[in-house]
Amino acid sequence: MFNRKKSKQSSTQQTDKDEGVHGVSEVRDLFNTLSSSYDFINHQGTYNGVGYWVSYYRSLIDAQELHKSVLSVIPSLEKINLGQMRESIPIEDTLITSTRTVIEDRIMRGHIAIRLDANLDECLLINVVAQHGRQVDKPELEFGIISPQEAFVEDIDINLNLVRKRLPVPSLQVTELTVGTLSKTKVAVLAIEGIVDKENVDTVVKRISEIDFDEILDGSHLAQMLYDDTNTLFPLFLYTERPDRIASALAEGKVAMIVDRSSSALIAPTILLEYFITMEDYNMPWVPASAFRLLRIFAVIFSIFATPLYVAVLTYHYELIPKDLLETIVTSRNLIPFQPLIEALFLEISIELLREAAARLPTKVGQTLGIVGGIVIGQAAVVAGLTSNILLIIVALSALASFVTPIYKMGNAIRLLRFPFLVGAQIWGLLGITISAVFLMTHLIKLTSMGHPYLEPIYPFHIKDWKDSFVRLPFTFFKSRPVNLRTEDTTRQSKPKKSKRKTNDFNE
């Protein structure tokens, strides 16, 4: 088989030598097949008595470029042959070949094929692919107030450019692979050589090339096929639309994957705590950064456990509540005909409905949803005596708390995690919650991302990696790269601190 990557590199010097005797009719056959589609154009022209064919998909190519750089060049030639044309046409990605698979592949990627009447089997392929797509825009899912306002778009080259601009070093290596028998999606695997553990890159490349699926639509679609364990709620690869996150992950020694036609890139291997990190944490002084990170982790715990605790305590252990507080709760609940679980499920499910509806509705209609959901349904449910005020507060807070996760997919996991805990709370109260928690703990311990433990640095316990986990310590502590990544080069700052910034009489 012909290696595409190599052929691209050497295309300028070498015409393809693979043409076999049997390939002759194949090329014509290919063009006959392609012509059956209505957007495939076979343009016939004659110049100096030599007939030539220009064939392409009009939906794939840039017509202006075709006119300007190809069709207008042909009349200026003295002699018509493919080699001559190739030299005069001001486009560098060209190839002369008569191998069917190469021709087919390239035409499908927006090349035009020029053939001469004299030899209809030999093609000059010229890249005039149309570059449609949106401009680099602000991040929508991972918006940051004090961080760069650039996000990935759907084009792999623009995305690579966004990353390369942040890491202008030759050691940033890109390996390109193609997956999907139908979609032929390009996947670029990025890693900084000399830092990254080669084994990680090899595993990623191996797993990607092992994929046998017809259509890869998006990065997260691909990610699920690369997971170590598919039966999990948790995202094992971090799915981000921020180029700065990719750049920092690469600098730490991780592997990034950029998928064509996907506005997000993937990072692997990841750890659980990474999903509660925003890039803003690095742009703020370490104290607020750590405080907000702790707040986020608290929010997640609250969001998972608040409603189950309410159900557990009010169903089985109301003795836990002191007398004065119990009075408040009893007054708020005395007209409610249901047990706490029904009450909680009613509210939780309506919040989930609102959330799902808000995600599906067009933005303009969506605005009314907040009013309908928040005020009308919530207040009405309380007035109608279906739920208690206290539970309404708890559910609303825990819904709010689940939005603080910077990575949307982790938010989804947390959204769902609450329900098994609710069931546990209903069955055995606090004990049920504890048992569910041990199940969750076990699951997290067992999870691995590209073979690296997911719960690191908690277990396996690596004190060195705590500098950037629950808290973000000052950058003077960032002397080494994360231990669990087993990077080749572990030092992040070689020299010790230079001069003292501040001196006063006290320090003298």
Partner 1 sequence: MNQTDVNEKYMVAPFYVFFLVHSMQTGIGVLSFQRILAKSTGTDGWISILLAGLIVHSLIWVIYKIFSMVPGDILSVNHHAFGKWGGNLFSLLFIAYFLVLGSTVMVSYIQIIHVWMFEEVPAWSFSLVFLILIYYINTGGFRTITGIAFLSVMMTFWLAFVLFYAMKYSEFTNLLPVFDHSLLDIWTGTKHSALSMIGFELILMFYPFIKDAKASQKYAHGGALTTTLITVIVYLVSLVFYSQNQLVLNIWPTLTMTSIVELAFIQRFEYIYVSWWAIVIIPNITISLWAASRGFKRLFNVQQKYPLWGMSLIILIINIFFFDVDSLNILEKIINPYGVLFLVSYLPLLLVIIYIKKKRNRL
Task: Tell the smallest beta-carbon distance from residue 437 to partner 1 (Å).
Answer: 8
Task: Tell the smallest beta-carbon distance from residue 289 to partner 1 (Å).
Answer: 24
For residue 144, give the nearest of 234, 39, 278, 270 by alpha carbon.
278
Give the CA distances from residue 481 to residues 168, 266, 380, 426, in Å, rounded to whole numbers and listed in that order: 20, 19, 53, 44
User: Are the beta carbons of 83 and 95 closer than 8 angstroms?
Assistant: no
For residue 61, give the nearest of 52, 76, 71, 51 by alpha carbon.
71
> Three-state DSSP class for 285?
coil
Identify which of residues 392 and 430 has a Cβ nearer to partner 1 in the complex: 430
Identify which of residues 374 and 460 has a Cβ nearer to partner 1 in the complex: 460
Identify which of residues 389 and 412 has a Cβ nearer to partner 1 in the complex: 389
- Between the two ends of the chain, the Cα-to-Cα distance in Å is 73
Task: Tell the smallest beta-carbon distance from residue 272 to partner 1 (Å).
Answer: 13
Structure tokens at 147: 């961080």
Distance between CA atoms of residues 12 and 179, nearest Å: 26
Question: At a CB cut-off of 8 Å and minimum separation 6, what does 389 contact?
Answer: 332, 382
The phi and psi torsions of 187 (rounded to 5 degrees) equal -125, 125
User: Are the beta carbons of 151 and 163 closer than 8 angstroms?
Assistant: no
Identify which of residues 428 and 478 has a Cβ nearer to partner 1 in the complex: 428
> Three-state DSSP class for 116?
strand
Identify which of residues 40 and 466 has a Cβ nearer to partner 1 in the complex: 466
Note the residues at the interface with partner 1 (CB under 8 A): 316-317, 319-322, 325, 428-431, 433-435, 437-439, 441-442, 445-446, 455, 458-461
What is the distance of C-alpha 373 from the center of its chain? 30
Distance between CA atoms of residues 220 and 17, nearest Å: 40
Identify which of residues 439 and 477 has a Cβ nearer to partner 1 in the complex: 439
Task: Tell the smallest beta-carbon distance from residue 200 to partner 1 (Å).
Answer: 16
Identify which of residues 158 and 445 has a Cβ nearer to partner 1 in the complex: 445
Find where tokens 């999606």 sit: 185
Task: Tell the smallest beta-carbon distance from residue 357 to partner 1 (Å).
Answer: 35
User: Are the beta carbons of 211 and 223 closer than 8 angstroms?
Assistant: no
Identify which of residues 353 and 441 has a Cβ nearer to partner 1 in the complex: 441
Identify which of residues 302 and 316 has a Cβ nearer to partner 1 in the complex: 316
Task: Tell the smallest beta-carbon distance from residue 402 to partner 1 (Å).
Answer: 22
Task: Tell the smallest beta-carbon distance from residue 453 to partner 1 (Å).
Answer: 8
Give the CA distances from residue 417 to residues 360, 413, 459, in Å, rounded to whole numbers and listed in that order: 22, 6, 21
Helix (H) or strand (E) holding 92: none
Task: Tell the smallest beta-carbon distance from residue 304 to partner 1 (Å).
Answer: 15
Question: At a CB cut-off of 8 Å and minimum separation 6, what does 299 contact?
Answer: 401, 402, 404
Task: Tell the smallest beta-carbon distance from residue 320 to partner 1 (Å).
Answer: 5
Question: Cβ of 200: how many Cβ atoms within 10 Å?
Answer: 22
